[in-house]
Structure 1
């Protein structure tokens, strides 16, 4: 018995070695890792049926309780039996593949065992088929209940099925005395030998599945890393600069030898191999890209011929080209090229497909954000156009009157009026401008107003030195000063005082406009700036517009507050974050182009 146990361990080792070698093959790993469709089930039946056949051929011939042969067996003597690992392969096949695979592998291995002969041939054939059925049934049940197929579970099923085989030998094989003697001799080595083999085999299967999970986790992390680094550039849309940055990031973080991005008409970026002839601003040269742009389907090429590059000496030999979509419209392609076809494996293909979907979503979000900003810009410019018509007419009347009495003063006011409206035009074209330009606009406005109403109010500027270059939204300060003049001092005989304080505090730019005018009632303070407010002179557009722009531009990090007391004056405070680098960078281009 001990000699048989040692030989059984050798036979188990053969199967385990074969299983390990197979586990290094991509096709085998793919079959084990994927959900089993008809083709995969057929392959699993053939695979685990083959394990059974190998076990039959490499089994140990037992003749009258002694080891007769432990070599390659093609037939058995009539009074001989076979000790092997056949049931192990069938059980593992059934547990992993379900009843269909279990029955199929059992039939293949069982029928083959029957052809070898021996007085236990029929009993062993039947027990092998039954083992496949039962293993498949319990494997399927375990999966349906949401439990994993563990090595412990498989070992238990394998040892039970080997025990069932011993029982069937006792029931079916004749004569009974010989069957009983055989079972006593082989039961322990076969039950525990197959149990050990099943355990080792399942360890290999578990390692394959862990590798898949680890690969998926790495893919997910890699995709998130790429998405995080490329998102700022996708927000700029598809242009030469953004696409080159995106391609550089992808080349660094993937296994691709070259990355290319196109729009519908031209190559926007190509970095990596073959950059000498895949040049930005040129038309897409590969037939593969043209095909994807036309049909909108992913294309994979695994040879230079399939890429269809017009340059014969092109070093690119494999590629995956994916469409980029915005609202179901193809707006370009993402291309990952490889100099060796074997580098374009399933992992790279799945990563590329995931990134293409992710990039399409980012482009859609960028387009939606751009449309929102365009709409907001249009609304702001429409409001800006309505701010000053009455001021223009009043200023012209004042200048017209001065032309007869003080020509020099009239000339100066014309320059101030010109400066004021020039500032308005610049503000209408920009989302942000330097504080000093806003102050210039305010001073021009005040110069014209104080000419119309001399000695009516005094303006006190308190500006912290060195902050003139800070960017702020245009028309932030001037409308508040205008409100203080028109609503703070109506029909007032005493001189009003307006204090304009601008300073930095705790990484915030503070803008405070305070007057000693008539103040605002509490019921109006509660809604001012939060909604349009009807009044005799307007509808609260200026304060509401400023508040909405501050919230939109600074993502809720800026704020406008109003404090007032009737007959004691009003204070309007604005707080803008000084560290909003992203906001300033985003609008710097429009600032310079304006």
Structure 2
């Protein structure tokens, strides 16, 4: 028994080494880890059946009390038996692949064992098949319960089924005296040897799975990190600036030696190796890029010839070029270059493919956002260009009447009217204007209105110094003043008071328009600014439009609030970020792809 133990450990070592070598093969890892289809189950049957056959051929022939030499066994004496690790492979196959794999591998190894002969041939064949059936059953049950096949569970199964084999030999092998002598000699070495081998085999598989999971987790985290850092630039579309920033981020966070991005016409960015001749604003240097732009399919090159750069001294020797698509249309390419072909491994390839899909999605979202903003911009400009016809006609009538009584006054009003219209036209073409221009437009409007209604109201401007150059959207102040005049004092006999207060607070520009007019009913306050409200004198369009414009332009960073009490006036407050430059960068050029 003691002489057999070292030899059994040697045989276990052979199987474990084979398992370790297989674990380095990607195809083996995929078969072990995936949910098993019919083809994969066939592969597992052949794989673990082969383990059983190798165990048979490398087993130790035992003739009565004599232990044979370690050699390749192709046939046996009819009075001999075989000490080996056959059950170990069958048990592991059944636990991992289920009943079909266990039975299939057990049949292959069991039938092969039977053909070798020996007085335990039938016993070993039957026990091998039984081991496959039992291991497959318990492996399936354990998975159905949501439990993993742990190394400890596998060891227990392997040792128990090896002990069952010893019992089957005692029951079926003849003569019994020889069977008993054999079990005494090989029982404990085979039970514990197979248990140790099963433990080592399962640990190798467990480490393999853990490494795969860790690699996938790292790859996913890396992809998310790249996506998170590049998202602000993709929202700007494919511009030279954004593509350079994206390429530098990818160069830092991947194993690539150079990263480039093109649109469908030219190189937008190339950072890293070969940047001396892969220059932005030029046509792509490589035939590989042109091939991807034409076909819309991923291309991989592992030689300089496949890259086909026109510069003979180009250091790039491997590349993966991926199409960037928006709604199935090719918008450009993402390219990852390597100075050594070995760097372009499967992990880098999968990462690049995942990033290309992610980047294409981000470009689609940027394009959708651009279209939305263009539509909103068109709506805003249409609203800005609207001028109330009655205001125009009333102004002309007022000026016409003054021409007879006060020509100088008429001339002054005509200039104010001209200034007002000029401000409207300029505002309709601009997203932002200085506060001083908006105030000039308001004052031009007030000059005409106060001429028509000289004693109806007074207006007081309280402007914090040095705010005149602050940029604000046009037509957010004049409509509020107009509303205060027309709806705050419709038939009031006393003179109304309007106060316009503008100041800065906590990096916000505060614009407050307050009046002491008739106020707004409580029921209307809740909906004004959120929807159009029908009424006898209007529908709340001005406040609603201003609110919508602020939301669209400042992405939720600006606000409009309304407070009022009936017969005590109304106060409207607009808060705008003072540092609004970043909000408009993407509107100016960033959202245009290409």
**TM surpasses 0.5:** yes
- Give the aligned partner of residue 229 of structure 2: 229
Which residue pairs with 1:268 in the alignment? 268
Matched with 1:575 is 575
Q: CA deviation at 1:178?
A: 0.1
3-state secondary structure, aligned to 2:498: strand
Residue 252 of structure 1: aligned partner: 252
1:202 equivalent in structure 2: 202
Residue in 2 that maps onto 1:425: 425
Does residue 147 in structure 1 map to residue 134 in structure 2?
no
Query: 3-state DSSP class of the match of 2:377?
Result: helix
Question: What secondary structure sits across from 1:444 in the alignment?
Answer: helix
Query: 5+ unaligned residues in a row in structure 1: which ranges?
Result: none
| Structure 2: distance between partners of 1:510 and 1:546 | 15
CA shift in 2, pair 1:39/1:570, >3 Å: closer
Structure 1 SS opposite 2:279: coil
Which structure carries more relative contact order (alpha carbon 8 Å, separation 6+)?
A: 2
Query: SS at 1:332's partner residue?
Result: strand
Separation of aligned partners in 2, 1:361 and 1:444: 49
User: For the residues of structure 1 that align with 2:52 and 2:17, how far apart are their CA atoms?
Assistant: 15
Residue 572 (structure 1) shift: 1.8
Aligned to 2:85: 85
State the partner residue of 1:211: 211
Match of 1:16 in 2: 16
Establish whether residue 157 from structure 1 lines up as the match of residue 157 from structure 2: yes
2:496 matched residue in structure 1: 496
Q: CA deviation at 1:166?
A: 1.6
Shift of 1:545: 0.6
SS state at 2:347 partner: helix
- Cα offset for 1:581? 6.5
* Equivalent position SS for 1:69: coil
Q: Shift of the alpha carbon at 1:555?
A: 3.8
Q: Which runs of 5+ in 2 are unaligned?
A: none
Alignment of 1:64-463 (within 5 A): 64-399=64-399, 412-463=412-463
Q: Assess, with a 3 A threshold, how the Cα gap between structure 1 residues 79 and 425 changes in structure 2: closer, same or farther.
A: same
Partner residue of 1:529? 529
Cα displacement (A) at 1:458: 2.3
Q: Would the aligned equivalents of 1:316 and 1:337 in 2 still touch at CA under 8 Å?
A: yes
Aligned residues of 1:518 and 1:568 also touching (Cα < 8 A): yes
- Preserved contact between residue 459 and residue 500 of structure 1 (Cα < 8 Å): yes
Q: 1:568 to 1:37 in 2, by over 3 A?
A: closer
> Once the 2 structures are TM-superposed, how far is the Cα of residue 421 of structure 1 from its aligned partner?
3.3
CA distance, structure 1, for counterparts of residue 520 and residue 58 of structure 2: 100
Alpha carbons 2:236, 2:586 under 8 Å: kept: no
SS at match of 2:297: coil
Query: What do the CA deviations read for 1:497-529 (whole angstroms, capped 9, x no partner)?
Result: 211111233444322111223333444444433
Instruction: Tell me whether 478-487 or 198-207 shows the greater mean CA deviation.
Output: 478-487
CA apart distance, 1:225: 1.1
Residues 220 and 433 of structure 1: CA distance in aligned 2, closer, same or farther (over 3 Å)? farther
Structure 1 residues 105 and 524, CA gap change in structure 2 (3 angstroms)? closer
Distance in structure 1 (CA, Å) of the matches to 2:513 and 2:46? 85
Checking the alignment, whether the CA contact within 8 Å between 1:518 and 1:567 is kept in structure 2 is yes
Question: Shift of the alpha carbon at 1:398?
Answer: 4.7
SS in structure 2 at match of 1:2: coil
Deviations 1:311-339 (A, max 9, x none): 44443333333332323333333232333
SS at match of 2:325: strand
- Alpha-carbon distance, 1:212 to partner: 1.3
**Map of 1:29 onto structure 2:** 29
Displacement of 1:85 after TM fit?
1.3
Task: Spell out, residue by residue over 1:251-299, the C-alpha distance to the aligned partner (whole angstroms, 9 max, x if none).
Answer: 2212222222233333332322333343333334444434433443333
What pairs with 1:37-56 in structure 2 (closer than 5 Å)? Answer: 37=37, 40-41=40-41, 43-56=43-56
Offset of residue 179 of structure 1:
1.0
Rate the CA distance shift 1:527–1:48 in 2: closer, same or farther, 3 A. closer
**Structure 2 residue 61 is matched with structure 1 residue 61:** yes
Report the secondary structure of 2:460's partner residue.
Answer: strand
Label 1:35 to 1:295 Cα distance change in 2 as closer, same or farther (>3 A). Answer: farther
Counterpart-to-counterpart distance in 2, 1:224 and 1:463: 47
Deviation string 1:169-220 (CA, Å, 9 cap, x unpaired) is 2233322210121112211111121011101110110011111111121122
Identify if the C-alpha distance between structure 1 residues 534 and 57 changes in structure 2 by more than 3 Å, giving closer, same or farther: closer
Shift of 1:462: 1.3
| Length, aligned pairs only | 590
Q: Distance in 2 between matches of 1:344 and 1:144?
A: 39
| Aligned counterparts of 2:199 and 2:334: Cα–Cα separation in 1 | 45
| 3-state SS in 1 of match to 2:514 | strand
Structural RMSD (CA):
3.1
SS in structure 1 opposite 2:531? coil
Change in 2 beyond 3 A, CA 1:416/1:586: farther
- The structure-2 alpha-carbon separation of the partners of 1:44 and 1:306, relative to structure 1 and needing over 3 Å to count, comes to farther
Closer, same or farther: CA 581–138 of 1 in aligned 2, 3 Å? farther
Distance apart, 1:358 and its partner CA:
1.7
Cα distance, 1:503–1:102 mapped onto 2, change above 3 Å? same
d(CA) in 2 for partners of 1:272, 1:409? 70
Cα pair 1:33 1:208 within 8 Å, conserved: no
Provide closer, same or farther for how the CA distance between residues 414 and 372 of structure 1 changes in structure 2, counting only shifts above 3 A: same
What is the DSSP-based 3-state SS (H/G/I as helix, E as strand, rest coil) of the residue aligned with 2:274? Answer: coil
